[in-house]
């Protein structure tokens, strides 16, 4: 069964600090991996999309890495801001056949001033 596991479940950091969120997956065959940011009460917003051949992709202060061999991804947030407080969701999409993405449960990040 395809699964996406995210850790930690929740994280509290001080404003200005860096943090790294983890995503492990068992989805196969792999097509692409996405990170979304979801603010409370809103729909998810795409941060990065990574395909098999990509190891690193940045979007401002967000940097995602992908190790397709170990089936792991991370999202690194640099110099956190209060507006980074949100849930971060990892999604993995399999290739071929019907399109049914596998979503992780998300990491809840709280940035304190």
Partner 1 sequence: NAGVTQTPKFQVLKTGQSMTLQCAQDMNHEYMSWYRQDPGMGLRLIHYSVGAGITDQGEVPNGYNVSRSTTEDFPLRLLSAAPSQTSVYFCASSGETGAVAIAGETQYFGPGTRLLVL
The binding site for partner 1 (CB under 8 A) comprises 4, 31-32, 34, 41-46, 49, 51, 89, 91, 93, 95-106
The four Cα atoms 77, 79, 80, 82 give a dihedral, to 10 degrees, of -150
Cβ-based nearer residue to partner 1, 15 or 101:
101
Minimum distance between the CB of residue 35 and partner 1, rounded to whole angstroms? Answer: 12
**CA angle 95–97–98, rounded 5-degree value:** 100
Nearest one of 86, 92, 96 to 104, comparing CA atoms: 92
Smaller CB separation from partner 1, 18 or 56: 56
Both tokens of 3, joined, read 């699964």
Alpha-carbon gap, residue 86 to 61, rounded angstroms: 15
Q: Which is nearer to partner 1, 3 or 83 (CB)?
A: 3
CA angle 102, 41, 79 (to 5 degrees): 80
Nearer to partner 1, 70 or 98 (CB): 98
């Amino acid at each position: 069964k395809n699964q996406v596991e995210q850790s930690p479940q929740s994280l509290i950091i001080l404003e200005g600090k860096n943090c790294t969120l983890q995503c492990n997956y068992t989805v196969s065959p792999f097509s692409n991996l996405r990170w979304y940011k979801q603010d409370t009460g809103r729909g998810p917003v795409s941060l990065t999309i990574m395909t098999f051949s990509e190891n690193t992709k940045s979007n401002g202060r967000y940097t995602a890495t992908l190790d397709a061999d170990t089936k792991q991804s991370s999202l690194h947030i640099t110099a956190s801001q209060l507006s980074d407080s949100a849930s971060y969701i990892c999604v993995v999409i399999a290739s071929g056949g019907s399109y049914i993405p596998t979503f992780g449960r998300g990491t809840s990040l709280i940035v304190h001033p």
